[in-house]
Structure 1
Amino acid sequence: MKKWVSILFALLLSIGILAGCGETESPVEENNAGEEVQEPAEEPAFPVTITDALGDEVVIEEKPAKIVSLIPSNTEVAYALGLGDEIVGVSEHDNYPEEVMEKEIIGGMEMNVEKIISLAPDLVLAHASSAHNSTEGLQQIKDAGITVLVVNQAASFNEVYESIEMIGTATGEKEKAEEIINGMKTKIAEIEEKTAGITEPKSVIFEISPAPDIFVAGKNTFMDEMLSLIHAENGVGDLDGWLNLDEESFIERNPDVIITTYGYYTENAVDLVLAREGWQDVTAVKNKQVIDVHSDLVTRSGPRLADGLEELAKAVYPEIFE
């Protein structure tokens, strides 16, 4: 029996070589009888067909060697997957990691189609948040023979996981994508466990932009889910989405904590809130519980969102995360 298995193995190996497949030998193990047993070969990662955020079936024939990313969240996911060298073009809004500053800029709110085509990428990572406004440009890129994948617009952690998995599958890094997702889930679970014993949840309002046009984060946003995960209450959780809130209504809601997210472009963001006229009786102002958290960590749908949750938990419940 062993002889026949050896002959069969040699035959299969020779066929693989003659076919020019370039595949490596499958591992061989011995069974309990000491006979060699052929392990089943892993299925090739490509070609792969993915249904993107627009419902289109996108076929990727082989692992992309050159990638253009049209939005920072896609870029962060690609870098987390170890694809920094493959990235050849990013938007002008990309700022993480630092290496993106060395990449070619392919536009901002409006992409430069000619520039993208000139970079000759194998894959363009587009995004559902802007795809409907860029239909013509994306079609031009497709007509140039470049594969375009529209990644879903995520509004929850589960949808972020879907984005990471989609990009991982498209780039041949599905296993790494699973590692990232599992890492995020583990970190989030640890934060939830630390805050599980809270009996008096604090009321928190996210202030997304400063006065006079104050915007806040209501339900159906990342920030609302984050507050739930750390066992805090959204002070505007009865309102939907991102919305403008006048100062009088803000004061009436009297939050325990105010989280600002615009300190990266507004100097002394926290001091400006603390100094607002007529706000001295707001609990967050009175107790100086106004904290700035970088916007990218709590709004950008990528791997760092779990880090943003940790930063938020430390800001709201510093006594637990000392």
Structure 2
Amino acid sequence: MGKKALWGFLVCMMAVVFMAGCGDTAKDAKTESYLTIEDDAGRTVTLAKKPERIVALSTSFLEPLHEVDATVVGCPSSKMGIPDYYKDVEKVGAVYNINIEKVVSLQPDLVIAMKGMNDKFVANLESNNIPVIVLDMKSYDQVKHSLDIFSQITGEQDKAKGIIAAMDKKIEDIKGKLPQETKRVAILHSTAQDVTVQLDDSIAGSVAKMLGFVNVAADTKPLDNNPDAAPYSLEALVKEDPDVIFVTSMGDMQTIKKAMQDNVENNSAWQTLRAVKENHVYYLPQKLFLLNPGMHYPEAVETMAKELYPQLFTEDK
């Protein structure tokens, strides 16, 4: 092979190598993503770019999203749980009746769904090329985890860390005021039609556990359709004879109290309970214990603690 032919061959080979390198670079650039998240459903979700149009399918997500500067363009309609700054955001139907067509019409680049409530919508949304993150946000630890996820999405991790540290401190300060004693509590959930017992993973149950209270129903077998609740039994309640009874509720409070009186309190055995005789039966506010309190978990903790030990919080009034 002559010198000219050899030189031409080398030039061609260098060009091929260069083009191959460019191809790899282009491929790498094409596959580069903004963020990859493993959600609470065990799914790996990759976001190609920073989301700028987020639809939240639960009102519980709204305040944490706002705290880390997320842009929310859609949320459910609800009488409770929507902050004033989201009142004018497009509504996508009731919490338990999401209008998926409306969600898609908002052209979101991310939908955040509640585990156990919105799972059925995931496949439909993904078929419309809309990424979906499924989160479980009931306990305080789950609230902090969700806030961390949201901060990764918006790039505001330092802001989330500061918020979490402040909430942790408030809760520790509240717990620090309480005497070192064990309180055995029962938590009932009342509607106009039914009464159930709340377990440790319920909102009120988790708050009681944070305060060091012992839920007398903690080991009770849960309902088939609700892992956070168990059937109500006055016989079992009398046997456990808790120091305190908390009541969470859903519906009009006057109706709830009448239902409790008709279905529970009129039974003579109820009057034998220590908590009843000592006036330690407390109705907890729905705004903190019906829906997830989210960023207001410290307020929920303080509310429950104040019911038992109001004298320890007089300086806060």
TM class by shorter chain equals 0.7 to 0.9
Question: Sequence identity, in percent?
Answer: 27
Matched, 1:229 2:210: yes
Contact 1:270 1:290 survives alignment (8 Å): no
Structure with higher helix content: 2
Cα deviation 1:198-239 (Å, max 9, x = unaligned):
23x222222112476311112344433322332322132232
Q: 1: CA distance between counterparts of 2:124 and 2:191? A: 39
Aligned match of 2:117: 130
What runs of 5+ residues in structure 1 fail to find an aligned partner? 1-45
Aligned match of 2:313: 321
Structure 1 residue 118, shift from structure 2 partner: 0.8
Q: 1: CA distance between counterparts of 2:257 and 2:47? A: 48
Aligned match of 1:140: 124
Aligned match of 1:14: none
Contact 1:203 1:256 survives alignment (8 Å): yes
Q: 1:289 aligns with which of 263, 274, 280?
A: 280
Aligned match of 1:24: none
Distance 1:53 1:97, change over 3 A: same
Q: 1:311 aligns with which of 285, 295, 303?
A: 303
Distance 1:266 1:125, change over 3 A: same
Contact 2:60 2:81 survives alignment (8 Å): no
Aligned match of 2:30: none
Contact 2:41 2:115 survives alignment (8 Å): yes
Q: 2: CA distance between counterparts of 1:188 and 1:139? A: 39
The aligned runs of 1:62-211 (5 Å cut-off) are 62-83=49-70, 86-93=71-78, 95-107=81-93, 108-132=95-119, 134=120, 137-151=121-135, 153-154=136-137, 156-195=139-178, 197-199=179-181, 201-210=182-191
Q: 2: CA distance between counterparts of 1:50 and 1:263? A: 34
Contact 1:154 1:301 survives alignment (8 Å): no
The TM-score with structure 2 as length reference comes to 0.75
Structure 1 residue 296, shift from structure 2 partner: 4.2
CA RMSD of aligned residues (A): 2.6
Distance 1:256 1:263, change over 3 A: farther
Aligned match of 1:26: none
Aligned to 1:310, what secondary structure does the other structure show?
Answer: helix
Deviates more, 1:161-170 or 1:214-223: 214-223
Q: 1:218 aligns with which of 199, 211, 216?
A: 199
Contact 2:184 2:214 survives alignment (8 Å): yes
What runs of 5+ residues in structure 2 fail to find an aligned partner? 1-32, 222-227
Aligned match of 1:243: 230
Contact 1:77 1:167 survives alignment (8 Å): yes
Structure 1 residue 253, shift from structure 2 partner: 2.8
Contact 1:274 1:288 survives alignment (8 Å): no
Aligned match of 2:271: 280
Aligned to 2:189, what secondary structure does the other structure show?
Answer: strand
Distance 1:291 1:101, change over 3 A: farther
The aligned runs of 1:12-31 (5 Å cut-off) are none
Contact 2:207 2:301 survives alignment (8 Å): yes
Question: Partner letter of residue 313 of structure 1?
Answer: A
Aligned to 1:267, what secondary structure does the other structure show?
Answer: helix
Aligned match of 1:55: 42
The TM-score with structure 1 as length reference comes to 0.74
Number of residue pairs matched? 269
Question: Partner letter of residue 119 of structure 1?
Answer: L
